[in-house]
Amino acid sequence: MSLFTGAVLFGLGLVLVLFFAERLVDSTVGGSHRLGVSAFLISVVFIGFDPENLAVGAVASYEATAGIALGTIVGAAMVALALAFGITALIVPLDFERAPRRILVLPVGAVALVTLLALDGTLARGDGAILLVGYVGAVGLLLRWERQDIHVAPTEAVETEVEVDEEAGPIGSVGWFVASLAGIVAGSELLVRGARPLIAALGWTETAFGMTLLALLVSVEEVARELPAALKGRPDISYGNVLGSALAFFGFNAGVIALVRPVPIDPVTQHFYLPVCAGTVLLIALLMWRRRVPRWGGGLLLLAYGVFVFGPSLW
């Protein structure tokens, strides 16, 4: 495949994935709302659910392109946790009136579990099952805390999405749901196939491409989710995105991707990318323990992202 053909396939795949991922979220939220699912559960799924990364990672795993599959987990998580949250805090210092500290164990536990399971150099299918069970358990804890009036994930942003989607009606939502699934899978296949000549032309490793450029392109909307909420005086929405992203990437997405096909973990991911990501999650937890993320905290998160992107060249 020529470089030009690869670039065209990659670009077309990326457009399809991003477009249909947005429609899939809209139809899922609206459908859940009509079925009477709690607003809290919708908010957790909506904030954390990242179908574009899941689809690209699953297809990459099926195609035995481990570097891209891992990039949609670890690299994409760093875009949401370090880049987007860091930019948000740098522009708008985040103060939390209500941030229960017990919640912090969930994102730390999620990334710690993935890191431990990767120690043997593979995310096997059994590891994927463990991660999915952990994800379900985490959501269960959030629901239990919700019944105890311990809130983290807000619902205002979700309700806005629901109102927009309801205009389509139930038939429209189902139609968009089916079409979006097909569009995401087709776009992911094009993207993965088109990435191969691009990787060769750039002279990058598959892992470096997946962890940096691909992760940034697929997950850049995280900034659009977090910053506007903080500017409107809703830092809880910004952190809700961080919490949901950590649980989804390291629990649900990683679990599904490993179930599709065992994913080999290369040394640079095992000894550099995962530890840096785990350290970033721990840093966020320490900042949230103080119930405040000041500008210098945002600067530290951006520094962590810079180390993540450029560090392997010195590793």
Q: Where are the domains of the chain?
A: 3-313
Q: Contact, 27 vs 177, CB < 8 A?
A: yes
24-41, pLDDT tens digit by residue?
656 655 655 565 555 445
What mean pLDDT comes out for the span 266-278?
94
Look up the pTM and report it: 0.78
More confident residue, 284 or 180: 284
3-313: CATH homologous superfamily? NCX, central ion-binding region (1.20.1420.30)
Contact present, 76 and 218 (Cβ < 8 Å)? yes
Q: Work out the angle between the directed axes of helices 235-247 and 39-48 (0-180°, nearest 10).
A: 70
Per-residue pLDDT of 192-225, as tens digits, reads 777 778 777 878 888 888 898 888 877 766 666 6
Band of pLDDT at residue 244, cut at 50, 70 and 90: confident
pLDDT of 238 reads 66
Say how far apart CA 131 and CA 101 lie, in whole Å: 23
Token representation of residue 295? 């500008």
Q: What is the DSSP string of 164-188?
A: HHHTTHHHHHHHHHHHHHHHHHHHH
Q: What pLDDT, on the 0 to 100 scale, is given for residue 161?
A: 46
Q: Are 180 and 172 in contact (CB under 8 A)?
A: no
State how far the alpha carbon of 304 is from the alpha carbons of 28, 36, 51, 214, 313, in Å.
34, 41, 25, 18, 15
Q: Is the pLDDT of residue 272 over 90?
A: yes
